[in-house]
Amino acid sequence: MARYNRVILMGNLTRQPQLRKIDSGVAVADLGLATSETYKNRNGEQVETVCFVDVVAWGRQAETCAEYLTKGSPVFVEGKLQLDQWQAQDGGKRSKLRVRALRIQFLGRPRNATSGVPAGTLEEDGEENPPF
């Protein structure tokens, strides 16, 4: 059986990135992303649908997202689907499907334009690619 797990999304953040560190000291950022689609229905009316997606970024990429992105920031995300499963305090099983970011490209201006940091791409391994 062939396997391929890749997601490509572009949208705006629905909240501030939430940065935390796990026990090993690795940074993790949780992002909320909204993507929208506009189409005409049978009556010819414009209809907009919005899809809300949870995204997780790791390492240096997580730190950079927390530093430079804010609610409403436009981003381009490449990643893969990840299913998280856990047992809740009430004993029930819970699960959540989200995107593990492999690459996040900032589409807007940097939050601090005087910092000298370009609006480029940061990949999961922390290597920055120029925006050109």
Residue 132 is predicted with a pLDDT of 38
> Does a structural domain hold residue 95?
no
Strand partners, 56: 30, 100
> Does a structural domain hold residue 96?
no
> Does a structural domain hold residue 36?
yes
Question: How many domains does the chain fold into?
Answer: 1
Residue 120 is predicted with a pLDDT of 53
Residue 127 is predicted with a pLDDT of 54
Mean pLDDT (the chain, rounded)? 87
DSSP result, 86-103: EE-TTS-EEEEEEEEEEE
Confidence of residue 116 (pLDDT cuts 50, 70, 90): very low
> Does a structural domain hold residue 124?
yes
Give CA–CA dist 41/46, Å, rounded.
7
Q: What is the CATH number of the domain that holds 115?
A: 2.40.50.140
> Which domain range does residue 70 map to?
7-82+103-129
Give CA–CA dist 25/6, Å, rounded.
27
> Does a structural domain hold residue 88?
no
Instruction: Say how far residue 2 (Cα) sits from the centre of its chain.
Output: 26
60-75 pLDDT, tens digit each: 999 999 999 999 999 9
> Does a structural domain hold residue 115?
yes
Structure token digits, residue 74:
């436009």
Q: Which are the contacts of 6, defined by CB distance < 8 A and separation ≥ 6?
A: 78, 79, 80
> Does a structural domain hold residue 23?
yes
Position 117 pLDDT exceeds 80: no
Count of all residues that appear for the chain in the document? 132
Structure token digits, residue 82:
């990840």
Helices (H) and strands (E) in the chain, counts: 1, 8
Higher pLDDT, 46 or 129: 46
> Does a structural domain hold residue 118?
yes
Position 131 pLDDT exceeds 50: no
Dihedral angle at the C-alpha atoms of 113, 15, 55, 123, nearest 10 degrees?
10
Element (H, E) at 27: strand 27-40
Higher pLDDT, 127 or 1: 1
